[in-house]
Chain A
């Protein structure tokens, strides 16, 4: 064969394997779930009295395992709490969006508007002693793990009141049992396996959630983590937040298998409607039970969607249509979905809902304002040299750019 012919043949083979037709790409996710449709149920009077609701029949898709039950036991208070949490995360993210646009927040900033049900549903299924690690899209998780709105927004603003004293910014937030956002795509996944192993070694009855995106799912280290976790039966849940895009590349264009819950191969998996906070909670509680009973890891996929761009500098419309975004917003929004159900089940009245929304606003807005009002770090050497060492462990002095700028911690 002539050189040019064989080259053509190779390219043809390459073309057919790497380029899926658009229809196939879309049909991967083409089934129907409405986050807003609800099954009949009636909440009891007592806000703490458990009652059972049916989750939508298509909430889960299991891989090599029995899926969780569709009977979801909850209370009025829990449902209201979930609603408030999701609304608070969204309101906080909107505040970040505004502050960014006002050029008060700078740097890289990734918002989770649209994906709130994952952070909230997961937190509701675990305890503060369970461990969580995630990617740079971390504000919602930080909040649910106990960080205040003020400390998160102040961090974004570079204020000393920020959760990392204003020195880390958007991607580097930590809280108790929360090992941070991580700027390197996929890097947190094997770290999550290590955290899980530490918990097991220490004999703790806890689960570790290691979260990553559909784009990150293709990093080699994710598969290395899968193998170690299964080999050593680590109580870790690998949770893929599939929001359909890794920056500007759609899942179907980046991944040979977009059934991310099946990618553990020898690890059982569960796909969850990540726009339904109840399904997320049910699945995470089930996953905690499974992993902490010695059965080893799980791979979970949360089908979700981000409404905004990848980061603040991406308008988010060059690789997907505006119609797609607005369709998701109108038809599958997690907060609107829960709202409908709260009404249908008699958990709250229309007026009650308005109260809830106002309550969220009254809690979040003052914290945002307080963060904004926090002083811009003073232009002093004291502030500049702060936090190079952990507070209290500083050496006597540290050199500046020039010898004259040497800073003495102990005057």
Chain B
């Protein structure tokens, strides 16, 4: 074999900065590609994140949250952060409080596509924050192995987009989820957390806008968590990383920059497997998570103004296993239930909740449980806004449910 390589790059001046590149987002966060709200739209208006009551715009609002540890609430120490910054803060906290924790994935050492890991290489060094090759199956298998080791076991893996998790499906379903069971409790990979950006982004098309949560909600042994804003993102991510079961942590990518809150600076966790009631109401229960929470907020407001409806809104937060107690209690009270998610309808999370609700609350139901979801179609480039649940569709579902 001749070992004379074809030449190309020999005389390239040696890059001096290559070790520590400045981080630039490889995919910049999008503006909407198209919007379907006609000029005279009444319902499908742009979402006003900066006035949403589902976000804490002041330190006082943040610290009023009874779920926060009292030390956090009394210290009063908060910073204005968007969702990617609060994820960054959670990762930084996790790495500094657990010397076994490692963070890895495609391009994470450079800050990641959405900048969630900005500066973490500098802070924690290349042994703990590193780029992997482009192989999702390997990334997750590797993470499971690290997490399964008795002494080195907090593995935080990033999948660049939720759309790219599928090569790793086998490792997640057959290894990660079943490790504790197979290992008779002596072995587990509970220190594994798999983060990934999900949901629509305006113009992501087929492979940058999917919501794959339902696939994982079919697998005992996993937990699936979706935050709706920066405060939740930090608290839930820290809880997920420290949770000793594998957690799939899905970050709604449009919210990375769109949502801004006063986020506690110190270390805190928010409860997993626990839903949050965002608005009390008596006529209908709406259940959602992630990006669509804000669409739901607008639809609930419209329903109140136009129909006089009192809407109870619940953020599921942990999608699997979900908080049945809170949901059933609410639906038994209101007698009506609408579930909203971006993921396609068939086989979705909404179907499972609807089935459980009718099993548990059948005699209290005043109307069929309704679902507002993505259509059973791939996400066409210019049709994203039509595909995703919008205010009009949610409003329509509320109205039909109320009038049933």
Q: Give residues in A with beta carbon < 8 Å to B.
A: 3, 6-7, 10-11, 14-15, 18-19, 22-23, 26, 28-33, 58-64, 67, 106-108, 158, 166-169, 171-172, 183-186, 215-216, 218-221, 244, 246-250, 253-255, 259, 271-273, 275, 303-305, 309-311, 313-315, 317-321, 323-324, 327-328, 331-332, 377, 384, 388, 401-402
Assess whether B11 is interfacial by the CB under 8 Å rule: yes
Is B152 within 8 A of A327, CB to CB? Answer: no
Q: How many residues of B contact A (CB 8 A)?
A: 66
Which chain B residues numbered 338 to 374 have a C-beta less than 8 Å away from chain A?
none
In the bound assembly, the distance between CA atoms of A60 and B19 in angstroms comes to 31
Most chain B CB inside 10 Å of its own CB: which residue of A169, A250, A272: A169
A248 touches which of B1, B12, B26, B135 (Cβ 8 Å): B26
Is A167 within 8 A of B382, CB to CB? Answer: yes
B8 touches which of A107, A108, A332 (Cβ 8 Å): A332
Is A318 within 8 A of B13, CB to CB? Answer: no
Given A18-B130, A220-B135, verify A33-B8 contact (CB < 8 Å).
yes
B6 touches which of A221, A272, A318 (Cβ 8 Å): A272
Given A32-B7, A61-B6, A313-B27, verify A401-B382 contact (CB < 8 Å).
no
Assess whether B403 is interfacial by the CB under 8 Å rule: no
A215 touches which of B14, B30, B134, B390 (Cβ 8 Å): B134
Given A167-B382, A324-B12, verify A317-B167 contact (CB < 8 Å).
no
Is B26 within 8 A of A271, CB to CB? Answer: no
Is A319 within 8 A of B110, CB to CB? Answer: yes
B5 touches which of A183, A271, A314 (Cβ 8 Å): A271
Given A220-B137, A249-B106, verify A315-B151 contact (CB < 8 Å).
no
Which residues of chain A are near B26, meaning CB under 8 Å?
Answer: 247-248, 309-311, 313-314
> Number of residue pairs across A and B with beta carbons under 8 Å?
205
**Chain B proximity of A127: nearest CB distance (Å):** 26
Given A7-B100, A388-B377, verify A402-B396 contact (CB < 8 Å).
yes
Is A273 within 8 A of B8, CB to CB? Answer: yes
Q: Give a binary string over B12-27; 1 marks a CB under 8 Å from any A CB, 0 the rest.
A: 1111111101111111
Q: List 18 A-B contacts (CB under 8 A).
A: A3-B151, A15-B126, A32-B10, A61-B3, A61-B6, A107-B205, A108-B204, A184-B164, A220-B138, A249-B110, A249-B134, A305-B9, A309-B26, A310-B26, A315-B24, A324-B12, A388-B377, A401-B390
In the bound assembly, the distance between CA atoms of A219 and B130 in angstroms comes to 18
Is B106 within 8 A of A247, CB to CB? Answer: yes
Given A108-B208, A183-B206, A331-B11, verify A60-B6 contact (CB < 8 Å).
yes
Assess whether B71 is interfacial by the CB under 8 Å rule: no
B21 touches which of A172, A246, A319, A331 (Cβ 8 Å): A319
In the bound assembly, the distance between CA atoms of A185 and B159 in angstroms comes to 13
Which residues of chain A are near B133, meaning CB under 8 Å?
Answer: 215, 218, 249, 254-255
Given A271-B5, A273-B6, verify A402-B207 contact (CB < 8 Å).
no
Is B6 within 8 A of A401, CB to CB? Answer: no
Which residues of chain A are near B132, meaning CB under 8 Å?
Answer: 254
Most chain A CB inside 10 Å of its own CB: which residue of B12, B21, B131, B386: B12
Is A61 within 8 A of B2, CB to CB? Answer: yes
A254 touches which of B9, B131, B396 (Cβ 8 Å): B131
Q: For the complex of A and B, list the 7 residue pairs with the smallest distance between their C-beta atoms, beginning with the closest.
A: A31-B7, A183-B207, A218-B133, A313-B28, A33-B7, A321-B15, A30-B10
In the bound assembly, the distance between CA atoms of A320 and B110 in angstroms comes to 12
Given A31-B7, A64-B1, A219-B135, verify A401-B392 contact (CB < 8 Å).
yes
**Chain B proximity of A26: nearest CB distance (Å):** 6
Is B25 within 8 A of A62, CB to CB? Answer: no
Q: Give a binary string over B184-207; 1 marks a CB under 8 Å from any A CB, 0 the rest.
A: 000000000000000000011111
A324 touches which of B6, B15, B131, B208 (Cβ 8 Å): B15
Q: Give a binary string over B121-139; 1 marks a CB under 8 Å from any A CB, 0 the rest.
A: 0000011001111110110
Q: Which residue of B lies closest to A323 (CB)?
A: B13
Which residues of chain B are near A171, meaning CB under 8 Å?
Answer: 205-207
Q: Which residue of B lies closest to A34 (CB)?
A: B7
Is B134 within 8 A of A248, CB to CB? Answer: no
In the bound assembly, the distance between CA atoms of A327 and B22 in angstroms comes to 21
Assess whether B234 is interfacial by the CB under 8 Å rule: no
In the bound assembly, the distance between CA atoms of A255 and B131 in angstroms comes to 11
**Chain B proximity of A139: nearest CB distance (Å):** 15
Is A107 within 8 A of B12, CB to CB? Answer: no
Is B21 within 8 A of A62, CB to CB? Answer: no
Which chain B residues numbered 1 to 59 have a C-beta less than 8 Å away from chain A?
1-19, 21-28, 30, 33
Is A244 within 8 A of B110, CB to CB? Answer: no
Which residues of chain B are near A19, meaning CB under 8 Å?
Answer: 126
Which residues of chain A are near B9, meaning CB under 8 Å?
Answer: 26, 29-30, 244, 305, 324, 328
In the bound assembly, the distance between CA atoms of A288 and B250 in angstroms comes to 45
Assess whether B380 is interfacial by the CB under 8 Å rule: yes
**Chain A proximity of B163: nearest CB distance (Å):** 8
**Chain B proximity of A188: nearest CB distance (Å):** 13
Q: A33-B8, A327-B13 are in contact. List 20 more A-B contacts (CB 8 A).
A: A10-B152, A19-B126, A22-B19, A29-B10, A30-B10, A58-B6, A108-B27, A184-B164, A185-B134, A218-B138, A220-B135, A247-B113, A249-B106, A249-B134, A250-B18, A272-B6, A273-B6, A304-B8, A321-B13, A377-B382
B135 touches which of A18, A22, A183, A218 (Cβ 8 Å): A218
Given A31-B10, A167-B381, verify A313-B127 contact (CB < 8 Å).
no
A158 touches which of B3, B135, B382 (Cβ 8 Å): B382
**Chain A proximity of B368: nearest CB distance (Å):** 15
Given A249-B131, A331-B11, verify A321-B16 contact (CB < 8 Å).
yes
Is A318 within 8 A of B381, CB to CB? Answer: no
Which residues of chain A are near B223, meaning CB under 8 Å?
Answer: none
